Amino acid sequence: MSLDFDEGEELRALRAAVAHLGSRYGQSYFLEQARSGGRTDALWAEAGKAGFLGVTLPEEYGGGGGGLVELSIVLEELGAAGCPLLMMVVSPAICGTVISRFGTPEQKERWLPALADGSQTMGFAITEPDAGSNSHEISTVARRDGDEWVLTGRKVWISGVDQADALLVVGRLADGRAGTSGKRLRPALFVVPTDAPGVTAHPIPMELVSPERQFQVFLDDVRLPGDALVGHPDQGIAQLFAGLNPERVMAAAYSLGVARLAMRKATEYARQRQVWGTPIGAHQGLAHPLAACQIEIELARLMTQKAAWLIDSGQDAGTAANSAKYAAAEAAARTVDQAIQTHGGNGLSQEYGVAALLAISRVSRIAPVSREMILSFVAQHDLQLPRSY
């Protein structure tokens, strides 16, 4: 079978339509909402109405019937236009994927149309203060009480709780202990309304300039109906990872958008800014680092497209998804750094909007999985090296 690197007319049209929407809002809108304590609800609603948020969800539930290839394009183009919507990684990509694959007909009918049109949003809660990236140490526990579930625990670094109607919470069933010395991990996923009694959320003060905030979430004997459980209780691991690989691809798309935005700002400035009558972009001391960043962006984009295609094709995408996330995060961090350097002192001013990307690009190296964990994954699974943990 021959390789074809042409996205085709439909995907190019999608890119153009999303880029047009993003340009009508732009970075000024995004930063204004972030610095004033506002939210990007207007953009989110319009993206949902246009079908961009639900592009990967089933058509019978109001989605576009496409795949992760399409959804990653939406996030990349919005980011390149100055509006990297972090909740796109969470609501349609993770939660929408898990519910569309493993949810009951009632759960699909309840949530997928609303996630597709943007009228409702779902957050994802897995990380815990004492577990971090080690899901085997999750201590949030769900126990059965008659026809109900009772959920107790705490989560941290949960995005967008203030704009989410519900959280997809990862806990463990009460018949298994947390810790590698205990019984096997039995993760389970529950849909938890954010206004349910016993759910409290506290914002985490951040240096990050973003309207999408991070929270600590406390679950104090939260009572849920029996149908709050998503999927089969004995298949929680498979169900969990069905959402995590798309998360990594979407994180890569998020980073690509940020990197492209920084590159556009840097090159426009380098063409216009003159010193002694010569544009500063003519000097190889600036031109070469930017060119190297551009190469990294294109390489990361290829891996992101490959990972999305593998997921859409139903193939194993673990290494590709992790590699895409790693490459895009590195490209974003280096491109933003070089964009600031290109602007000189202007790169630290609010006028040019470059320094605002610094924390955003740095986050990409840490979340949703750190580059060190990705390197450990590749070392173990691709290089067959022994584990250190």
Q: What is the CATH number of domain 9-120?
A: 1.10.540.10
- The CATH fold assigned to 237-381 is Butyryl-CoA Dehydrogenase, subunit A; domain 3 (1.20.140)
- Looking at the chain, the domain(s) classified CATH 2.40.110.10 span 123-234
Exposed, middle or buried by CB within 10 Å (0-12, 13-18, 19+), for 147? exposed
Beta strands in 15-147 (DSSP E): 122-125, 141-145
Output the DSSP codes for 152-174. EEEEEEEETGGG-SEEEEEEEET
To the nearest 10°, report the CA torsion of 170, 171, 173, 177.
130
**Can you tell me whether residue 70 is helix, strand or coil?**
helix
Cα distance between residue 229 and residue 168, in whole Å: 10
pTM of the model: 0.95
User: Start-end ranges of CATH 1.10.540.10 in the chain?
Assistant: 9-120
Contacts of 272 (CB under 8 A, 6+ apart): 279
Closest C-alpha among 88, 85, 87, 81 to residue 27? 81
Residue-level pLDDT, tens digit, the chain, 389 residues: 567 889 999 999 999 999 999 999 999 999 999 999 999 999 999 999 999 999 999 999 999 999 999 999 999 999 999 999 999 999 999 999 999 999 999 999 999 999 999 999 999 999 999 887 677 788 999 999 999 999 999 999 999 999 999 999 999 998 654 444 444 567 899 999 999 999 999 999 999 999 999 999 999 999 999 999 999 887 778 888 889 999 999 999 999 999 999 999 999 999 999 999 999 999 999 999 999 999 999 999 999 999 999 999 999 999 999 999 999 999 999 999 999 999 999 999 999 999 999 999 999 899 999 999 999 999 999 999 999 87
CATH architecture of 123-234: Beta Barrel (2.40)
Q: Which of these, 371, 365, 378, 246, lies nearest to 319 by C-alpha position? A: 378
191, 168 contact by CB (below 8 A): yes
